[in-house]
Amino acid sequence: MIRIQKAEARGRTKTSWLDSRHSFSFGQYYDEEHMHFGPLRVLNDDVVQGGGGFPTHPHREMEILTYVVYGTLEHRDSTGGHGVIRPGELQRMTAGTGITHSEFNHSQTEELRFLQVWMFPAEEGLTPGYEQRAFPREARSNALLPVGAQDGAGDALTLHQDAEMLVAHLDAGHSVEHSFGKGRGGYLFVIDGEVEAPGHRMRRGDALLLTDEEGIRITAHEESEIVLFDVTLSGF
């Protein structure tokens, strides 16, 4: 089964420094049709103005992934983790038994856009932790590159959940394919551009939810960036 979620159907939080679009219920936005997809609980598409950001706040029992689209994001947390995340870089923060952190636009003048993803961990009580890695443009050019995986295979960050996060930067006319195992689902999100996926033409902010599908083929109509989550649906 394939179901589309259009960009304009997402929730929204807008302040003087933040414009955030919510693919799943988040904060004051509630949508019983989009509470989670397997362990995927949050996908926020955040645009932060220069100097803006989230002051120190707590999290527990969640895997939190941050992927920068453009601009630079500065992160600090209570484990001592600190870094500036740039385009094409992914950060994983394991909240586990409890962590506090802050996230700010590293620039006072330039806009920042990033995706923040939350996943339920496979088990509770994990030790809080932090990991960050850059994924070169050439490695994700016209190919789905695993940037997060349960076993941390290759250069992927380690996820404490039976899930995989893959990103691709596609030139116009290029296609990528991905196969799903039994009992798994896929969540495809268009970061930028325009792509064709099974039966749907998708643009920035659109998503596809795939269950009981053997695989997916994605073709770019223009230069595009996409992220695909391959997740277990067992127990959810």
CATH number at residue 72: 2.60.120.10
104: confidence class by pLDDT, cuts 50, 70, 90? very high
Measuring CA to CA, which residue among 113, 117, 115, 116 is closest to residue 47?
A: 113
130 domain residue, yes or no: no
Residue 27 forms part of a structural domain: yes
Q: Is residue 35 part of a domain?
A: yes
Alpha-carbon distances, residue 53 vs 3, 23, 104, 106, 114 (angstroms): 33, 20, 4, 9, 12
User: Please, what is the Cα angle at 24 between 79 and 124, to 5 degrees?
Assistant: 40
Domain-embedded: residue 153: yes
Rounded CA separation 185/176 (Å): 17
Query: What value does the mean pLDDT take over residues 140-161?
Result: 94
Number of domains present in the structure of the chain: 1
> Does residue 82 surpass a pLDDT of 90?
no
Q: Is residue 37 part of a domain?
A: yes
Structure confidence by residue, pLDDT tens digits, 45-70:
999 999 999 999 999 999 999 999 99
Please give the pLDDT value at position 179.
97
Res 79 pLDDT > 90: no
Which pLDDT does position 152 carry in this prediction? Answer: 86
Tell whether 133 is covered by a domain.
no
Cut 0.85: pTM above it = yes
Hey, is 142 helix, strand or coil?
Answer: coil
Q: How confident is the model at residue 123, as a pLDDT?
A: 95
Asked if the structure places residue 55 within a domain, the reply is: yes
The contacts of residue 154 (CB under 8 Å, 6+ apart) are 146
Strand ordering across the sheet containing 112-119: 11-14, 18-22, 40-48, 112-119, 63-70, 89-94, 129-134
Question: In whole numbers, what is the pLDDT of the chain averaged over residues?
Answer: 95
Count other C-beta atoms under 10 Å from residue 165's C-beta: 26
Range of the domain at 119: 2-123+139-232
Instruction: Give which of 104, 222, 234, 221 is closest to 161, Cα–Cα.
Output: 234
Establish if 128 belongs to a structural domain: no
Decide the pairing of beta strands 145-149 and 157-158. Answer: parallel
